């Protein structure tokens, strides 16, 4: 099978993955020097920081997705292919994909990360991850299907399992999901289901470390937990999950929590690709790269973002697996590929920490910038502005902003739909 990519007199750069890092690189190098081939399993870029709003019926999936072909439709030397990469033939400079083999001059692996269940197959079978738009939509369907099941439950035990929601992982995703669900329980769901007593609905956040938002400062962690508790979320720190059978979450201390809804946001692992020496594969599915993002032992193959591990004195375990390191690495690699074409010295990557933030609900957020820390309404407003600016497409920004304003004024969005495949 042939991928039907036209020949060119330009060097071919193949980018695997159109996340934050791969997209930034493609945008910066598609104007000159190179023929750019972007490969992704989806035909759109997805804005991961807002997956939780799709999962909780705050936004439609189309609001945070943008087609690759639309982004690059004016780029003459850009080609997109919908495919998955199975293997890399390093010496032959060929990648094996689901649509055939593709030759490259430079290969960039920016495949991002997937959910890490830490080898627990039972949890993987029954828990719901949220690392893609389709997974977020699946969570939305499940949440509202469980409520419909609760209406028809014949026993209080069954109703409890349907209504309770457990979130594992107290990072930004877990905190944001828990806060949003708590607000829905208070302001939205009682109007949709007047026959149900939502005081009995438990929203439980489980975190294995001593605090939520463990990567942020003590001040932000304490404030975030305070917000969650005020919203009625049960927060359990130093709590590890060891099992889940679809009806009961089992904790390390052998206690159980009844629920048919377990949202898993406890860890990630890189989506690595086979074909390299064993020595370049590091724990967590990441590639060992040098200061130029070049995979160790290769000359023309690079890795970006979540799947790359650039170890240094400041970051002995690699950079944080977030959007900003990926974007900055993509930008720096674009400069270096041009420098390679010009036979100039390469620029080592240096991460500039622009800060971190998380929202816990209406008027509640924590923000940490390099020189400032703040919480509350102003932090919430900053969080919204930053995320709106980062979304691709004027239409998408407008739709997200309109949804946020309407939700703020009315506490009522008409996106609480159960959309499933037609049964054959």
Looking at residue 422, what is its pLDDT?
Answer: 66
- CATH 3.50.50.60 in the chain is located at 11-115+268-341
- CATH 3.50.50.100 in the chain is located at 121-266
Mean pLDDT by 10 residues, the chain (424 residues): 79 96 94 90 95 93 94 91 96 95 96 94 96 95 96 95 97 96 94 93 96 93 96 96 96 95 94 94 95 95 97 93 96 95 94 94 93 94 94 90 87 77 64
Looking at residue 424, what is its pLDDT?
Answer: 58
Looking at residue 414, what is its pLDDT?
Answer: 67
Architecture of domain 11-115+268-341: 3-Layer(bba) Sandwich (3.50)
Instruction: List alpha helices for 188-318, DSSP H.
Output: 189-192, 218-230
Whether 57 and 183 have beta carbons less than 8 Å apart is answered as no
Tell me the helices (H) and strands (E) count for the chain, helix number first: 12, 25
What does the alpha-carbon distance between residue 363 and residue 188 come to, in Å, rounded to a whole number?
Answer: 17
Name the phi and psi angles at 268, rounded to 5.
-130, 160
What is the DSSP annotation of 22-36?
HHHHHHHHTTTTEEE
Third-level CATH fold of 121-266: FAD/NAD(P)-binding domain (3.50.50)
Nearest to 333 by CA among 380, 290, 282: 290
How many Å is the Cα radius of gyration of the chain? 22
Query: Angle formed by the axes of helices 218-230 and 172-187, to 10°?
Result: 20
Looking at residue 416, what is its pLDDT?
Answer: 83
Q: What is the C-alpha end-to-end distance of the chain, expressed in Å?
A: 32
Give the DSSP letter of residue 295.
B
Whether 68 and 107 have beta carbons less than 8 Å apart is answered as no
Looking at residue 2, what is its pLDDT?
Answer: 57
Q: Is 40 helix (H, G, I), strand (E, B) or coil?
A: strand
What does the alpha-carbon distance between residue 221 and residue 212 come to, in Å, rounded to a whole number?
Answer: 6
* Strand runs labelled E in 155-202: 165-168
């Amino acid at each position: 099978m042939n991928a039907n990519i036209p020949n060119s007199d330009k060097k071919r750069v193949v980018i695997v993955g159109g996340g934050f890092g791969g997209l930034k690189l493609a945008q910066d190098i598609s104007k000159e020097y190179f023929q750019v081939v972007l490969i992704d399993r989806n035909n759109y870029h997805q804005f991961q920081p807002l997956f939780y709003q799709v999962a909780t019926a705050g936004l439609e999936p189309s609001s945070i997705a943008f087609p690759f072909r639309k982004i690059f439709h004016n780029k003459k030397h850009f080609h997109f292919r919908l495919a998955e990469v199975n293997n890399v033939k390093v010496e032959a400079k060929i990648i094996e994909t689901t649509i055939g083999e593709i030759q490259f001059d430079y290969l960039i692996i920016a495949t991002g990360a997937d959910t890490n269940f830490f080898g627990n197959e039972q949890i993987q079978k029954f828990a719901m991850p949220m690392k893609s738009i389709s997974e977020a939509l699946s969570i939305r369907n499940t949440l509202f299907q469980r409520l419909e099941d609760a209406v028809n439950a014949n026993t209080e035990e069954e109703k409890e399992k349907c209504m309770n929601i457990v979130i594992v992982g107290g990072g930004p995703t877990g905190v944001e999901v828990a806060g949003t669900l708590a607000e829905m329980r208070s302001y939205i769901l009682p109007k949709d289901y007047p026959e149900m007593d939502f005081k009995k609905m438990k929203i439980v956040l489980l975190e294995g470390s001593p605090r939520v938002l463990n990567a942020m400062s003590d001040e932000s962690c304490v404030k975030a937990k305070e917000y969650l508790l005020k919203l009625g979320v049960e927060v359990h720190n130093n709590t590890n999950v060891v099992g889940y059978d679809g009806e009961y979450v089992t904790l390390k201390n052998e206690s159980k929590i009844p629920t048919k809804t377990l949202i898993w946001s406890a860890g990630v692992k890189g989506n690595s690709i086979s074909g390299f020496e064993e020595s370049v594969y590091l724990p967590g599915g990441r590639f060992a790269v040098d200061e130029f993002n070049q995979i160790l032992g290769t000359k023309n193959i690079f890795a970006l973002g979540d799947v790359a591990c650039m170890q240094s004195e400041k970051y002995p375990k690699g950079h944080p697996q977030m959007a900003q390191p990926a974007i900055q690495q993509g930008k720096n690699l674009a400069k270096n590929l041009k420098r390679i074409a010009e036979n100039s010295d390469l620029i080592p990557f240096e991460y500039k920490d622009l800060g971190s933030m998380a929202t816990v609900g209406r008027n509640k957020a924590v923000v940490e910038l390099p020189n400032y820390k703040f919480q509350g309404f102003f932090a919430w407003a900053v969080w919204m502005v930053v995320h709106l600016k980062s979304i691709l497409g004027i239409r998408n920004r407008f739709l997200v902003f309109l949804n946020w304003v309407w939700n703020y004024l009315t506490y009522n969005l008409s996106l609480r739909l159960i959309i499933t495949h037609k049964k054959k």
